[in-house]
A and B are shown apart, each in its own frame.
Chain A
Amino acid sequence: MTADTLALLPELCLLVGAIGCLLLGSWTPRWRQRRVAVAAGVAVAASLLATAAGPAGITAQTQSAFSGTFAVDATTDVLRLVVGLSLAVLLILARAEIRGHARESEVYVMLLLGALGVILVGGATDLAVLVVGFLLASIPLYGLIGLSAGSSAPEAAVKTYLLGGLSGILMMLGAAVLYGLGGATSYEALSRLEEVSSAAAVAGVVLLLVGLLFKAGAVPAHPWVPDAVEGSWTVTGAFLTTVPKLGAVLAIARLLEVLPEDRTWPLLIGAIAAASMTVGNLAALGQRDVRRLLAWSTISQVGYLLAAAAAVTGSDDALPALLLFLAAYAVTNLGCFAVLAAEPERRAVADWRGVGRSRPVLIGALGVGVLGLVGTPPTAVFVAKLLTIAVTWEAELRWLAVIVALNTVLSLAYYLRWLAACLSQATSGAEGRDGGQGVSPPTGDPGPLLAGRTAGRLAVSCAAGAVVLGLVAGPALTLTR
């Protein structure tokens, strides 16, 4: 039991941190909540340290904890690292954006709890743990969206909650069906499914997938994403388009690995991947609001992630490729959202005209970010996408490799539309509003300006991270083998 507890030390750090922040936040006056942010940061740092130096460690042998319900292997460790680093970025972003908000400390708590749930989803090897992880990852999400200022936040929260509730119930139903068929909730029991009637088993797996696709924000459980991103804080949008996907896609990959050898499942995931990337890209083409544009772009990105996941049974390189893609996607997507946070007043694509002149460094970071999402070398997503095309090809899913390439071209149009707006001359109206200085600082309160600077620095760091990860992709890949 002690060994089990130690194996879950990174998760424990997050849990203790969340509870600690909740208590600390209740005793802290509103204008001194910096200490809560620091506490949350310490919890994340501890979790990262525990992952790097913990009993499992990246290179340690695969083991599982709590009677084989949670895998403690290299895959989980990578997930812990990526989620932990994303959390670090999100905490800084949250501090910059909602400093002094009445619910500031609660936001930190929910970020920690939500991330913990995501790690549980990604590491689970048992249906019951998967469901628990799903709930833990979802409920803070509803809270985060609902807390956000803005008139459309309640509507977005309700929409997300309804869709999340429905997919959660379907997921539990699927788990129940599979339990009924296999007689156990462990993933191992799933591999014995071929002995039982296949229609019921297929229904069970598909229902289970619905919940995970909701978490991943993939088609067909995606409609909440654009509304939630548009209606909530930037930090919330950054969280919900990045972190839940990481765990959900890994969970799908893990499920695929244990399901009976069958061409059906990779094909199904491949089809979902193709639908997700195509729908996301087509919908993004027509968006005027950059938040909605980014939201649809993340729906398409999850399609690429799922394409790598679909190949796990057909290629040995697929899982490393997927893990690299998760890290690459996280750093790139967070960078794009940090750019949004740096210019919070600019919502429509047209509002970004001329920003390239007033904030060249920020737009440079945005350029690396969106071209990174496209898959332009030498950024990390390029290497990941290249590997994805290679592994899907190798896994006999060649049509999927072609669809990935075609969708990449499709996605160019809207990413470039945004970038081109930034680079073009400012219209006289926009220039008058900003005085060529980006956000106009409200008199007497340096807060927003400061926040914009912090977010800008964060964006540049993420962009640099995306390029560096791309250049050191070789060593990074060997870590995950």
Chain B
Amino acid sequence: MLSVLVFLPLLVAVGLLWPGIGDRLARRAFLVVTAIEVAGVVALWTAYENPGPGRLAFEERVPWIPGIGSSYHVGLDGLSLPLAAMTTVVFLACAVFALAEDQRPRLQAALFLFLETTCLGVFASADLILFFVFFDLSIVGMYLSIHGWGHGDRARSALQFFLYTFLGSLALLLGFVGLYIASAPHTFDMVELASSPPLQGSGTTGVLVLGAILLGLAIKTPTVPFHTWLPPAHTDAPAIGSAVLAGVLLKLGTYGFVRIAMPMLPEAFRAWAPWLIGVGIASVLWGALVALAQTDLKRMVAYTSINHMGYVVLALGAAGLAADGGDQTEARRTAVSGAVTQMVSHGLLTSALFLLAGVLWQRRESYTMREYGGLAVPAPRFAALLGIAALGSLGLPGLSGFVAELQVFAGSIATTPVAAVGLVGILLMTAVMLRAVQQLLTGPVGGLSDGFPDVRARESAPVAGLLLLSVTVGVLPRPLLDLVEPAAAVVVSLVSR
């Protein structure tokens, strides 16, 4: 079942490559498959039962390269299921948004279905090599997406994106090899590596191996100072490319922290924890400050992603700080749970923001916020959607971002008071988002806003859907948290070993 969910998009993508298929059919197929994926994930969610520590639900395992202890091993738990669900939702939103795509829609549909398989594959993988395969292929897919459907200086941005993230993935691979060599018997199986972590008590070696893994994840996430590939990639990517890049691909990095770094190298992770807290705070502040200085809406949203991912790294770093007593465990669980919620929340909200930015580009080919103004008058529905997305992004109560950030800070500050510095980031984000809303929506109608057509159904529906989910998480967080919290508790107990 899980394998079907992962590989169905790929199968259809291969079918779409057949030259005789028309554009209409391709767009329909894209939509239908992503809808089936959402339905599939819903079915999995309802059938999901907490598998308990060291186990995975919907597990499938087939030997692949037995010589090096690598197998096709997939499964889901409370960490991966919410992210997989978020992935299918974002792709469905993209499929709806792309219904009017006129630039080689057949190939684009095939490419994005391929990307969906790679993203779901990463979240479902329970084998490091399998994880890496999907991780790397997602980079190739996104490269082609920016190069083939982007605008501006897309060739250069795509190349920069590829070089940078590929470098990161190689560092990751080195770390994986380190784990493999240190394990006895040699294995790449993630469940086995997490249940008996190698390199415990190995001192420097473990710290170095984790260093390689953290470097790879930090580039993918991205955190300051490895974020420089992100703004150009986002600015020049097509709207749905940005949505997938920010909504899903960035999570592959932070997901690696909770899935690989913390359970498999707990001792080394605790040694790195203060650094992670530092990097997290730096990302929060730097991302927000630079976002404040942007005049280009898409670049601004790109920098807010760095800020939001900073919260995740901050929380995970705090959860990795050596526990002094039992009373801290609760706080660290809250922090991890907040980090996972933030991944889901950011996926929903940022995808919505990027799709809205795509609407601006399709109408006026400009992201410069100054050139618009008073958009609320000609395009009230657009204004409403942008307003809600922006409020969610700054962490307003009632939306998913608030639930996430509350947990992140409640957990982190209890563990380490330094984390309170990150609160400044929320303040700055408020300024960033309100300024953007003000420049775009309020004031006299002028410049590019003149005669700006309001969003059509196929543009507003995906954004509204994403925002609705965000509100649902904000108002009724329990179903999500019931899933995440036990898994977060497991991660905390694993990293405390």
Contact = CB atoms under 8 A, between A and B. Distances in A.
A93 B67 CA distance: 35
Interface string A390-411: 1001100000011001101100
A412 B166 contact: yes
B146 to A, nearest CB: 11
A343 interface: no
B167 A420 contact: no
Contact of A477 (B67, B133, B136, B174): B67
A412 B177 contact: no
A386 interface: yes
A293 B261 CA distance: 38
Given A390-B181, A393-B177, A383 B65 contact: yes
A477 B65 CA distance: 8
Given A317-B67, A320-B67, A386 B177 contact: yes
B177 A424 contact: no
B171 A405 contact: yes
B390 to A, nearest CB: 35
A424 B170 CA distance: 26
A424 B155 contact: yes
A376 B166 CA distance: 9
Contacts of A478: 66-67
A378 interface: yes
A326 B431 CA distance: 58
Given A423-B148, A424-B155, A405 B166 contact: no
A477 B64 CA distance: 11
A420 B159 contact: yes
A147 to B, nearest CB: 39
Interface in B145-177: 147-148, 155, 158-159, 162-163, 166-167, 170-171, 173-174, 177
A474 B174 contact: no
Given A376-B137, A390-B180, A412 B163 contact: yes
A393 B181 contact: yes
B186 to A, nearest CB: 8
B162 A412 contact: yes
B132 interface: yes
A468 interface: no
Contact of B136 (A377, A402, A413): A377
Interface string B138-150: 0010001001100
A425 to B, nearest CB: 9
Given A390-B180, A423-B147, A477-B67, A376 B170 contact: no
A237 B255 CA distance: 45
A371 interface: yes
Given A376-B140, A389-B174, A408-B170, A420 B68 contact: no
B136 A420 contact: no
A401 B103 CA distance: 43
Given A377-B133, A402-B174, A416 B155 contact: no
B264 interface: no
B167 A317 contact: no
Nearest to B63: A474
A240 interface: no
A213 interface: no
Interface residues of A, number: 33
B464 to A, nearest CB: 35
B392 interface: no
Interface in A356-401: 371, 374, 376-378, 382-383, 386-387, 389-390, 393-394, 401
B66 A474 contact: yes
B64 A376 contact: no
A473 B65 contact: yes
Interface string B176-206: 0110110000000000000000000000000
Interface of B is mostly: helix
A76 to B, nearest CB: 20
Contact of B162 (A320, A405, A416, A481): A416
A374 B174 CA distance: 15
B129 interface: yes
B411 to A, nearest CB: 35
Contact of B68 (A377, A390, A413): A390
Given A378-B133, A408-B170, A389 B67 contact: no
Interface in A409-450: 409, 412-413, 416-417, 420, 423-424
A471 to B, nearest CB: 8
A386 B291 CA distance: 39
A132 B135 CA distance: 48
A401 B174 contact: yes
Nearest to B162: A416
A387 B68 contact: yes
A405 B174 contact: yes
Contact of B155 (A389, A405, A420): A420
Contacts of B178: 393
Contact of A401 (B67, B133, B177): B177
B253 to A, nearest CB: 18
A357 B155 CA distance: 16
B54 to A, nearest CB: 25
B135 to A, nearest CB: 9
A378 B130 CA distance: 9
Given A317-B68, A371-B140, A390 B170 contact: no
B125 to A, nearest CB: 12
A405 B173 contact: yes
Nearest to A417: B159
A377 B178 CA distance: 19
Contacts of A378: 133, 137
Interface in B62-109: 63-68, 70
A480 to B, nearest CB: 9
B65 A409 contact: no
A420 B147 contact: yes
Contacts of A401: 174, 177
A373 to B, nearest CB: 13
Contact of A409 (B68, B136, B159, B166): B166
Contacts of A320: 67
Contacts of A424: 147, 155
A406 to B, nearest CB: 8
A412 to B, nearest CB: 6
Contacts of A390: 68, 177, 180-181
Interface string B21-34: 00000000000000
A130 B177 CA distance: 36
Interface of A: 317, 320, 371, 374, 376-378, 382-383, 386-387, 389-390, 393-394, 401-402, 405-406, 408-409, 412-413, 416-417, 420, 423-424, 473-474, 477-478, 481
25 contacts: A317-B68, A371-B140, A377-B132, A377-B137, A378-B137, A386-B68, A386-B177, A390-B180, A401-B177, A402-B174, A405-B171, A405-B174, A413-B163, A416-B159, A420-B147, A420-B158, A420-B159, A423-B144, A423-B147, A424-B147, A474-B67, A474-B70, A477-B65, A477-B67, A478-B67
Given A416-B162, A420-B159, 19 more contacts: A320-B67, A371-B140, A376-B137, A377-B132, A377-B136, A377-B137, A378-B133, A382-B133, A386-B68, A389-B174, A393-B181, A401-B177, A409-B170, A420-B147, A423-B144, A424-B147, A474-B65, A477-B65, A481-B67
Q: Which 3 A-B pairs have CB atoms at the shortest separation, nearest pair first? A: A377-B133, A474-B65, A477-B67
